[in-house]
Structure 1
Amino acid sequence: MNFSAILRWISPKRSIQGKIFIAFSVVTLVSIVSITVIVYMSMRETISLNAITSVSDSIRQADESLNVMLEEIDRLNTVVVTNKNTVIDTLLSPHEEISYEWFQEEKRMDEFLSSLIDYKAYISRIAVVGLNGKVFFSGGPWMDRTVLETSMMDYMLQNGSRHAYFKQTGVSDAITIGREVRYNRETIGVVMVDMSYAFIQKTYGVKPTTDSMIYVLDKDGRFVYENHSTPHYAPSYQEIRTIHQELESNGEAVRQVIEGKEYIVVSRNSSYTGWTTLALIPMDSLLTESARLRKLLAEVSVIVFVVVLIASFQVSSRITLNIRKLKSLMMFVKDGNLTFPKKEIKSEDETGQLYHVFVSMVEELERLLEGIRFSEKAKRDAEMTALQAQIHPHFLYNSLNTIKYLAKLNGAPNIEEVSGSLIELMRSVLGNSSEFLTVREELAYVEHYISIMKYRYTEPIQLITEIEDDSLLECQVLKLMLQPLVENAIIHGIGPFAQEGLVLIRVFDADSHLRIEVMDNGKGITEQQKGSLLGESDKKAKSSRFSGMGVRNVHERIVGMYGDAYGVHLYSEPGLYTKAEIRLPKVQKRTENTEQEVI
């Protein structure tokens, strides 16, 4: 099966399996994409937050370490400016270079300053500069009285009432911490301590990525420290100043786009020095790991999706297996095959239930077809029987007329009467194919029947008819409705008594309905016999004299035609009488121009 055939097979328009497969695939794809995006965005945000936290902690630690050193230097400056014997007296001494006294003063000052910075690697030089031109220092680089004309000296004199910080550039980068030396409320000099710039670089060498940038700015926005490995696309001085000003109001960590490149900017302000430390971390470098994670997530998602596609195909095939079996069985039955294995689908789910219903339908169809075949065979047999029994009624009439003529010639009036009655009976039955007769026609049929039956018994049988209204004789009733009742009255009611019998037929209107009563003066019937007669109980039916199909057939025909409100009802007193009451609707005789109408 090629790929296009597979696509056609799983097409949602063609199969349930295709719909299930597509549904599983879409749900899985949406779920995997959603989870992947959520995980990636969460990891990206986590990496950013971790970077901010890490850089903030590193800056805080660097700032605290630097503050410790600056506090120590401030204490050294305090020791210097408060030392009268060595520092103040030397600066105020009138001795000039080069004299023995000046040499002694320089030696004493050098020993004093050297003792202050011994074992302090972060201090590269300490110097005492008098306004009178005297310069004393320990460490390097070399310093002479030309320092008095530098901007650093001017800055120290303007800001050194407590302590001042100045960044040197040029021969040696360093941070100079200075303080005025005062005597009698007058400034006589300045003490300056140079902090090693290498120490500051080491302290602030906290970069989460290689292209991150660290800046330290003083209160005036001037650079105290900047990363020497700053790439060529580093922000300009003015941009750093702008970021510094914005962060004073926005907070400690923000995201900024600088020259089209996105950065995370972390800042910290030192409460001791007033310096602000800025760390700029490029987002693309920070998220390099997240990019690898994104690639990994994409690869895993594709693998998972493929696995789910295969699994969903297998699951959908498994789920629809019974449906395909049921479809095959239906196509098998469609071709006219009603016999197939009845245990092919054993599941108890909806498909199994459909299978059982389908099997029941096929079995019912098979039963109906068998019934149709049986009915067709019976129909053919009946047609053959009817064909064999098709004797022309006139032939029978002529034969009976011959018998009647011979009886008359031979002086046998009883045979003549019976033959005539039989002729009229046959004419009524065979000559009228309608299902209905009038009450008049039905009573005439009964009279002919009694004229025949009375010769069967030694005692006469008297028939009395009472008609409440002659219009009732034109009402339509079912054909051969009274004869079975009269037959039961004569044969089973009057006949066993061997006495004169009476059959009374009353036709009257009862609540706008037609009522016909057939009463005999025979031996009567019991309640059990009533049930057997009307089909209410089939027990001992064959042994009962009322088990014939006549009365029951009349009752069922009336109920089937007019409903349960009508039918035959029996009343009897054993040894006295039996009365069969027929309840019918009043129906006018059907004419050529009008349909039958219930009165």
Structure 2
Amino acid sequence: MGRNVTTSQTYSSNDVLSLVRAWRDPDTKEVLGVILIDLRMDMFKKIFENLQLEKSGFIYILDKNGEIVYSPVNSIVYRIRQEWLQDNPSVTKEIRGHDYRILYNDYEAYHWKIIGVIPNDDYRRVVMDLRTYTFIVTIITLVLASLAATYFTETIIRPVRKLMRLMRRVQSGDLNQRFVSETKDEIGQLGHSFNHMVEEIKNLINLVYMEQKKKREAELQVLQAQIKPHFLYNTLDTIQWMAQEYKADDIIEIIGALTNLFRIGLNKGYELISIREEVKHAESYLIIQMSRYMGKMEFEMDIPEEVKRYHILKLVLQPLIENAIYHGIKARLGKGRIRISALLHQDTVRFRVEDDGAGIKPERLEEINRVLRGEEKRSEEAGFGLFNVNERIQLTYGIAYGLRVYSEYGKGTTVELIHPIVHTKHEEVTNHVEANDRGR
């Protein structure tokens, strides 16, 4: 009233809220003018009608002097005392026989208090509804979480249980079980490792079976070779006694060598023999061959005493010497020479049987070494002695040991025998065999 403001509509003082601010000079702080803005009260009404506090709750505004800025038509507003709103932003008061929850918040920009009034019954109902909704949402969440956990747990447990069943079957001896998985996750990788492990076990069992079979066959062949020597040993002992009666020294020497050959070869059925006895066996064989090939060959033994105190598989040198005579010395022109030597190298004993005979052609030498290394099977027409010695050593001690053949065609051949150092006659071979089986 009296502001001289012209508008297209006429508003009374109760229809507007006037906001007034002085305009001052920034340097002198002199008031230069006043800015006045009129806000229609129905704007507040529209805002607060959209902010309903339950069914009968309402909102009103007080200024810094406690005067009402805006209020809906409601008689409860005039029953709310200013002192109720001093200390606690939320109080419960009884008005006209009903309890009301009064909430307020300060609006610092204009020093207003925005006050909400909710009947206590509505307030409790809101709390109860909220508690009920929270409980329902919690139950639904727990049910969904349990179903999801059960589903995901089953996706993990099911293949694990399947893998456990397969393991029990493999444990009972069925090595044909395989784990089939469509996924490539950790369970799939575990199943792949299980399949690989079973396949390796199956291969190792077959390998051990074949090696044991070969070993038994080799032992049977050696046993069969010993049957006749045992009979001949007894017979030759009688012949030697008779030759002594007739003073036939040459015959006595040959028969004595042959008797030693058979006696040492039998070795009371033991597989291991001292190197001293094995060398003596080889010397007896050479004495017999010297009488047969008189003037055709000579031999030399270079075995240190420190080597002779160890043990070795029996009948391993004689086949190598026989091979040198029949395939080396016998095939050359003129007189030949065989040299047998030995040395200790790290944890092995190494024998070398050298001859200056006819030698071996390169392609045949390569074929022999491939067979000795296990890279190729021995043909039926191939010689028995050399490969039998190699198989016996490798089946007992492993593929790191055995024979190696070196030759230059027309100049001679060298066969190297690599054997582990064995200190005792019976215990060490058992230890080596067990260690070899674990290595496989």
State the TM-score bracket (shorter-chain normalisation): 0.5 to 0.7
Per the TM alignment, residue 461 of structure 1 is displaced from its structure 2 partner at its CA by 3.8
Shift in CA distance, 278/311, structure 1 to aligned 2, threshold 3 Å: closer
Q: Where does residue 338 of structure 1 map in the other structure?
A: 174
Mark the structure with the bigger radius of gyration: 1
From 524, 531, 545, the counterpart of 2:366: 531
Q: Where does residue 257 of structure 1 map in the other structure?
A: 91
Q: Where does residue 349 of structure 1 map in the other structure?
A: 185
Amino acid at match of 2:103: I
Are the counterparts in 2 of residues 485 and 551 from structure 1 also a CA contact under 8 Å? no
1:266-285 aligned at under 5 Å gives the runs 279=115, 281-282=117-118, 284=120, 285=122
From 298, 304, 311, the counterpart of 1:463: 298
Q: Where does residue 420 of structure 1 map in the other structure?
A: 256
Shift in CA distance, 226/404, structure 1 to aligned 2, threshold 3 Å: closer
Per the TM alignment, residue 590 of structure 1 is displaced from its structure 2 partner at its CA by 7.0
1:173-212 aligned at under 5 Å gives the runs 210=56
Specify the SS of the correspondent of 1:522: coil
CA shift digits 1:265-290 (9 cap, x unpaired): 37899x9xxxx998551374468557
CA shift digits 1:89-135 (9 cap, x unpaired): xxxxxxxxxxxxxxxxxxxxxxxxxxxxxxxxxxxxxxxxxxxxxxx
Instruction: State the TM-score, normalized to the length of structure 2.
Output: 0.57
CA shift digits 1:562-599 (9 cap, x unpaired): 99799756354x434444566889x89879xxxxxxxx
Per the TM alignment, residue 221 of structure 1 is displaced from its structure 2 partner at its CA by 8.2
Mapped pair 1:303 → 2:140 = yes
Are the counterparts in 1 of residues 357 and 411 from structure 2 also a CA contact under 8 Å? yes
Instruction: State the TM-score, normalized to the length of structure 1.
Output: 0.45
Mapped pair 1:240 → 2:82 = yes
Q: Where does residue 322 of structure 1 map in the other structure?
A: 159
Per the TM alignment, residue 215 of structure 1 is displaced from its structure 2 partner at its CA by 9.5
Specify the SS of the correspondent of 1:281: strand
The percent identity for this pair of structures is 25
Per the TM alignment, residue 476 of structure 1 is displaced from its structure 2 partner at its CA by 3.7
Per the TM alignment, residue 526 of structure 1 is displaced from its structure 2 partner at its CA by 3.6
Any stretches of 5+ residues in structure 1 without a counterpart? 1-63, 72-201, 248-253, 592-599
1:57-72 aligned at under 5 Å gives the runs 66-67=13-14
Amino acid at match of 1:265: Y
Per the TM alignment, residue 338 of structure 1 is displaced from its structure 2 partner at its CA by 1.4
Amino acid at match of 1:424: N
Shift in CA distance, 467/562, structure 1 to aligned 2, threshold 3 Å: farther
Distance 1:338 1:423 in 2: 53
Q: Where does residue 49 of structure 1 map in the other structure?
A: none
Shift in CA distance, 475/584, structure 1 to aligned 2, threshold 3 Å: farther
Per the TM alignment, residue 494 of structure 1 is displaced from its structure 2 partner at its CA by 1.4
Q: Where does residue 199 of structure 1 map in the other structure?
A: none
Per the TM alignment, residue 449 of structure 1 is displaced from its structure 2 partner at its CA by 0.6
Per the TM alignment, residue 242 of structure 1 is displaced from its structure 2 partner at its CA by 6.3
Per the TM alignment, residue 370 of structure 1 is displaced from its structure 2 partner at its CA by 6.4
From 312, 318, 328, the counterpart of 1:483: 318
Specify the SS of the correspondent of 2:89: strand
Per the TM alignment, residue 477 of structure 1 is displaced from its structure 2 partner at its CA by 6.2
Q: Where does residue 235 of structure 2 map in the other structure?
A: 399
How many residues get paired?
369
Shift in CA distance, 537/494, structure 1 to aligned 2, threshold 3 Å: farther
Distance 2:259 2:232 in 1: 8
Are the counterparts in 2 of residues 211 and 230 from structure 1 also a CA contact under 8 Å? no
CA shift digits 1:180-200 (9 cap, x unpaired): xxxxxxxxxxxxxxxxxxxxx
Q: Where does residue 444 of structure 1 map in the other structure?
A: 280
Specify the SS of the correspondent of 1:330: helix
Are the counterparts in 1 of residues 354 and 415 from structure 2 also a CA contact under 8 Å? yes
Are the counterparts in 2 of residues 517 and 582 from structure 1 also a CA contact under 8 Å? yes
Are the counterparts in 1 of residues 403 and 415 from structure 2 also a CA contact under 8 Å? no
CA shift digits 1:131-162 (9 cap, x unpaired): xxxxxxxxxxxxxxxxxxxxxxxxxxxxxxxx
Are the counterparts in 1 of residues 180 and 191 from structure 2 also a CA contact under 8 Å? no
Which has the larger displacement, 447-456 or 342-351?
A: 342-351
1:21-40 aligned at under 5 Å gives the runs none
Distance 1:70 1:423 in 2: 139
Shift in CA distance, 481/463, structure 1 to aligned 2, threshold 3 Å: farther
Cα-Cα RMSD: 6.0
Are the counterparts in 1 of residues 56 and 118 from structure 2 also a CA contact under 8 Å? no
Amino acid at match of 2:91: V
Distance 2:325 2:17 in 1: 145
Amino acid at match of 1:351: I
Are the counterparts in 2 of residues 569 and 581 from structure 1 also a CA contact under 8 Å? yes
Distance 1:358 1:230 in 2: 80
Per the TM alignment, residue 385 of structure 1 is displaced from its structure 2 partner at its CA by 9.4
Mapped pair 1:503 → 2:338 = yes
Which has the larger displacement, 322-331 or 288-297?
A: 288-297
Mapped pair 1:570 → 2:400 = no
Shift in CA distance, 467/265, structure 1 to aligned 2, threshold 3 Å: closer
Q: Where does residue 7 of structure 2 map in the other structure?
A: none
CA shift digits 1:421-456 (9 cap, x unpaired): 2211112222363735345x4443222112323455
Are the counterparts in 2 of residues 559 and 566 from structure 1 also a CA contact under 8 Å? no
CA shift digits 1:531-583 (9 cap, x unpaired): 344436977975998x65527846994999799799756354x4344445668
Specify the SS of the correspondent of 1:264: strand
Any stretches of 5+ residues in structure 2 without a counterpart? 1-10, 19-44, 95-99, 426-440
Per the TM alignment, residue 263 of structure 1 is displaced from its structure 2 partner at its CA by 1.5
Shift in CA distance, 312/454, structure 1 to aligned 2, threshold 3 Å: same
Specify the SS of the correspondent of 1:497: coil
Amino acid at match of 1:524: G
Distance 1:315 1:525 in 2: 70
Amino acid at match of 1:523: A
